[in-house]
Amino acid sequence: MGVEGDLPPPPPPPPPAPPAAPLILGLQPAAMVDHVARVDWSLLDRVPGDRGGSQQVALEDLEQILREVNARQVPPLGEGDAASPVRTIAGGSVANTIRGLTAGFRISCGIIGACGDDDQGRQFVGNMGRSGVDLSRLRMKKGPTGQCACLVDIDGNRTMRPCLTHAVKLQAHELSREDFRNSKWLVVRYNSYNLESIHAAIRLGKQEGVSISMDLASFEMVRDFRTPLLSLLEGGLIDLCFANEDEARELLRGEPKADPEAAVAFLSKHCRWAVVTLGSKGCIAKQGRKVVRVPAVEESQAVDATGAGDLFASGFLYGLVRGLPLEDCCKVGACTGGSVVRSLGGEVRPENWLWMYKQMLIKGLPLPSSVSHSFTV
């Protein structure tokens, strides 16, 4: 008994290794759910603000819009669209991009932000979690989650009416360098209401060697808050910038030339990569002295433009992390953007991911490794 009783206790097991940091992070200070619905033009005429853009509304206005949508159902178009007049999913530009990277390209991604402890917050968490997005940097707070009415007309064009009144959100002081450690990219969306958090995230991310991708959000945001946007760009911390044609025009308002070529030339003075998406006409992009034009995918049947630019960004970023040249990054983006417009909402459906993989193979673009071994045209 004496010998055994004198043995020291075994050492404790080593602590588990911390999970690997997501390769790409998305900053969405206020989580949001999208209520996506088909509407006729008579309803759009009664919605305040410019048709086709994105403008904040109060909660009572959002609820009135949704009541009218439910009372005036427009038959769904396209395969797989639900019979319900409204499809509710996790939304927001950054969430769409991050979800696309994770679900379609198997890139490890995470969301930095906050959601409410309500049904919408739980829906956001469930939808993003099922897509494989890392939610360890998403704080759940007491209060409501943001919501957005995404109104799609018969031509597939969308009008956005977000409501962030009283929605919980991540504050700048809650961010830390640890949030960004060992990640490679941070995706942000320009928004005047979140400028403090955006600046803090960019600063902390840069301290950790993270590259920054920024989307210009909407032509209203560029038009109404152009001065702080120019200041942000001129700070030289944005590595990649996406704009659509309307946003590019507002960015260069008052300049002798305000076409897409002038816009990418302007953006490339401040960013390593500059991209202007042109809808059905494809895109134009610039890196250094290299300028490329890439057409849209002709086989895509546009049902709803919601998320087209967000998913273009997913494909372009996939190309960058795979080390593809500029033109191929644009081609992947065209395939991804084409996949999401084939059904209602900013989330690509499984059958449309298959369509996208087929388009990528046809164009000689590399598929995600977890897909390539099992997919053929």
Higher pLDDT, 19 or 319: 319
Token match 């700070």: residue?
235
Q: CA-CA distance, 56 to 164, in Å (whole number)?
A: 7
Considering only CA atoms, give the Rg of the chain: 22
How does pLDDT run across 19-43, given as a tens digit for each residue? 789 999 999 999 999 999 888 878 8
pLDDT of 84: 59
Task: List pLDDT tens digits, range 97-107.
Answer: 999 999 999 99
Percent of the chain past pLDDT 70, that is, above it, reads 92
- Residue 49 in contact with residue 161, Cβ under 8 Å? yes
Tokens of 189: 């969306």
Domains of the chain (ranges, CATH numbers): 20-29+91-145+164-363 (3.40.1190.20)
**Better-predicted residue by pLDDT, 5 or 108:** 108
What H or E segment, with its residue span, contains residue 127? helix 119-130
Task: Over range 165-191, report the average pLDDT.
Answer: 96
Q: 232-250 pLDDT, tens per residue?
A: 999 999 999 999 999 999 9
Res 185 pLDDT > 50: yes
73 — pLDDT class (breaks 50, 70, 90): low
Tell me the pLDDT band of 48, cut-offs 50, 70 and 90: confident
CA separation, residue 58 to residues 229, 312, 366 (Å): 25, 30, 45
pLDDT of res. 371: 83
Six token digits for residue 33: 């759910």
User: Is the model more confident about 52 or about 17?
Assistant: 52
Q: How many residues does the chain have?
A: 377
Q: Return the H-helix or E-strand segment holding 249.
A: helix 245-251
Query: Which H or E run includes 33?
Result: strand 32-38
Phi-psi sector, 350: left (phi>0), alpha (psi -120 to 50), beta: alpha
| pLDDT at residue 365 greater than cutoff 90 | yes
Mean pLDDT, residues 296-314:
86
Report the C-alpha gap between 26 and 272 in whole angstroms: 19
308-324 exposure pattern, b = at least 16 Cβ within 10 A, e = fewer: bbbbbbbbbbbbbebeb
Residue 122 has pLDDT above 50, yes or no: yes
The pLDDT value recorded for residue 81 is 47
Confidence bin at 79 (pLDDT 50/70/90): very low
Comparing 95-104, 125-134, 336-345, the range with the smallest average pLDDT is 336-345
CB neighbours of 16 closer than 8 A, spacing ≥ 6?
none
pTM greater than 0.75 (yes/no): yes
**Mean pLDDT across the chain:** 90
Q: Which 8-state DSSP code applies to residue 54? A: B
Question: Residues 348, 351, 353, CA angle at the centre, nearest 5°?
Answer: 50
